[in-house]
């Protein structure tokens, strides 16, 4: 049903109440957009520095790298544990 508003499937979003909450929300959304552009779109850090500016781009890239290393190190450790003892990780 295109164009019909389904009142049973609405999501309630709590809006920020303070400037600090507002800034944190904007920062989180900006980082999410940066991460999406790096991972899913495949943009380089240099290209994104043009869009976000050198200083903000460097900050976002630092956060992206830290998050990437943390997330993929955890996944790799779990993968190795799951397939421990199997040659080349294969059954």
Condensed to tens digits (0 to 9), the pLDDT of residues 40-86 reads 999 999 999 999 999 999 999 999 999 887 777 666 777 677 777 76
30 occurs within a structural domain: yes
Residue with tokens 């943009």: 43
Longest CA span, the chain: 55
Question: So what's the pLDDT on residue 91?
Answer: 44
Residue 11: inside a domain:
no
Is 56 among the domain residues? yes
The full 3-state SS of the chain, as one line of letters, equals CCCCCCHHHCCCCCCCCCHHHHHHHHHHHHHHHHHHHHHHHCCCHHHHHHHHCHHHHHHHHHHHHHHHHHHHHHHHHHHHHHCCCCHHHCC
pLDDT tens digit sequence for 52-63 = 999 999 999 999
The boundaries of the domain holding residue 58 are 18-85
Number of domain units in the chain = 1
């Amino acid at each position: 049903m295109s164009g019909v508003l389904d009142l049973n499937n609405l999501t309630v979003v709590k809006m920020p109440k303070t400037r600090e909450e507002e800034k944190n929300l904007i920062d989180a959304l900006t980082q999410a957009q940066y991460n999406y552009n790096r991972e899913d779109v495949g943009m380089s850090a240099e290209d994104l520095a043009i869009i976000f500016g050198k200083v903000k781009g460097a900050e976002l890239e630092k956060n992206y790298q830290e998050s990437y290393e943390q997330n993929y190190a955890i996944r790799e450790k779990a993968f190795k544990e799951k397939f421990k003892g199997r040659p080349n990780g294969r059954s």
